[in-house]
Structure 1
Amino acid sequence: MKTDYHLHTAYSDDSIYPMEQLIQDAIQLGLEEICITDHVDHGVKYDADDPNRPKDAVLNVDYPRYFDELATLIPQYQDKITIKKGLEFGIQLHTIDAYQKLFEQYPLDFVLLSIHQIENQEFWNQEFQKGKSQQKYNEKYYDYLYEILQHYDAYSVLSHLDLIVRYDPKGRYPFENVKPKIEKILRHIIKNGKGIEVNTSSFQYGLDDLMPSRKILALYKELGGTIITIGSDAHTQQYVGNHIEEVKAELKTMGFQYFHTFDAMKPIAHPL
């Protein structure tokens, strides 16, 4: 079964990819199921109906239009592809209540839990890393993620678990130095019936390992983790389905037996 469980469209602030075009491209590529997971990043972006948003504000998903378009396109293409309703929640501690409210308002099949910034400081532009040692910003990243998990549970999988690597100008921080923190995170999600994502944008960004790394994946398996989704994190046509079949083959080599899709927030296992 060919799937892609991390896809962005023009409803994300960093994409101009029309949703219907994405669906047509996925069909052309032979994908059988996709989940569209556009961005919500409370704290640094604003909802369209927020009366306090600045004129030049960066916006979250326009939820009514997003879910209306999904409701139109899902039955329209149901004979060719299965389309699931998802979102990517870029959660911070001070924004948790907003995500809980959003989750309760709209029916979702799948939620990626990500952290893209801490205390409204972005990773991609080095605002968060600035003035900190490599040890400090790596340790704070994992500590912060673990703290979020203590307070928020309405998600399916952790997206790009070691995302900080993508934006680390000093290269990959040694796994052994943060292994105890990562192990705490993995034990927590396994205990709570959650999973992790393998995000194939590692190929797009030219990283030296998978995302999360092979060492993290091996630790996840060793601890008893089984729930895995695979997504391209595509924002444009060229990356849809990128390296997903290759990653499935590698996961099987590592000893994993299944990858997963989701329906109404429940994981469904498929043989690798």
Structure 2
Amino acid sequence: MFCDYHVHSRYSDDSCYPMEDCVKDAIDMGMDEICFCDHVDYGVKLDPMDLEEEMRANTVLNVDYPRYFAQLSALQEAYRGQITIRKGLEFGMQTHTIAAFERLQKQWPLDFVILSIHQVNDQQFHLREFQKGKSEEQYYKAYYEELLAVIQQYKGYSVLGHLDLMKRYDDKDGYDGFVHHQDLITEILRQVIADGKGIELNTSSVRYGLDSLLPDERILRLYRELGGTILTIGSDSHAPAHLGTGIEEQKKMLKTIGFTHFCTFERMRPIFQPL
């Protein structure tokens, strides 16, 4: 079964990929299932419906939920029998924004939620705001501590996205986040497993030029050793060239670690598929 469970469309602020084009491309690639997970980042972005039309063009926005879910429903009907389309979102969560996400989740029907930490204290990693003035030890530790604090309070997600994301925005060389923070990572994984949640294998590590998987293969092995079984695979695509990349290749790697299944989701429930 060929699926991509981390796909962004133009409803994300950082993508211009039309949703229907993405569906057509996935069908052409022979995909069986696709899940859209466009970005929501309360604390650093605003909802379109909270702004006047003329103010939206110059503001970094979350998903336009009415249009997003309406188009997803329309595409599900239009391409029924050709591909399964799931309704997801990627929640860029912080401890102080949990309540906003809980309110959002009550309003819209979701099959799948990726929980990611993209910023702490409303300081964004990709802009290097959070890392400024901190050592690698400090900002890696703070990232993992925020992630742990979030999942200790919030249980509405499906999987953790790109678990060791900080290495994508690490400008220094030679720092091994797994070695230095293995205790925190282990605590996070134990919490994930205890809550019946999962993690994702994000295949974007190749296009970002990282020297390890996302998350690191050692994290994947530790997750399995601790008893973790819920695992999704996604390209984190934002453009046609990204869609589906690396997914089939990484399935082979997962088998070498000892995984036998990956997951798709429907109405927030995992469905185990053989690798």
Distance 1:134 1:149, change over 3 A: same
Question: What is aligned with 1:261?
Answer: 264
Number of aligned positions between the proteins = 272
How many percent identity over aligned positions? 56
Equivalence for 2:190: 187
User: Aligned AA for 1:189?
Assistant: V
Where does the alignment leave 5 or more consecutive residues of structure 1 unmatched? none
Paired with 1:172 and 1:187, the residues of 2 have a C-alpha distance of: 27
Deviation beyond 6 Å, 4+ runs, structure 1: none
Would you say 1:120 and 2:126 are equivalent positions?
A: no
1:106 to 2:117 alignment: no
- Residue 164 of structure 1, aligned match among 163, 166, 177: 166
Tell me the equivalent position of 1:229.
Answer: 232
Q: Secondary structure at the match of 1:238?
A: coil
Report the 3-state secondary structure (helix = DSSP H, G, I; strand = E; otherwise coil) of the residue aligned with 1:239: coil
Q: Distance in 2 between matches of 1:259 and 1:45?
A: 32
Does residue 241 of the first structure (1) align with residue 244 of the second (2)?
yes
Give distance in 1, aligned partners of 2:224 and 2:75: 37
Say which SS state the counterpart of residue 218 (structure 2) adopts: helix
Q: In structure 1, what is the equivalent of residue 211 of structure 2?
A: 208
Question: 1:57, CA displacement in angstroms?
Answer: 1.7
How big is the shift at 1:162? 0.4
The Cα RMSD (Å) is 1.3
TM-score (norm 2): 0.97
Which stretches in structure 2 are left out of the alignment for 5+ residues? Answer: none
- TM-score w.r.t. length of structure 1: 0.98
How far apart in 2 are the matches of 1:61 and 1:160? 20
Aligned residue in 2 for 1:88: 90
Q: Indicate yes or no: 2:18 matched with 1:15.
A: no
**What corresponds to 2:41 in structure 1?**
41
Aligned to 1:60: 62
Question: In 2, Cα distance between the equivalents of 1:38 and 1:112?
Answer: 10
Structure 1 residue aligned with 2:136:
134
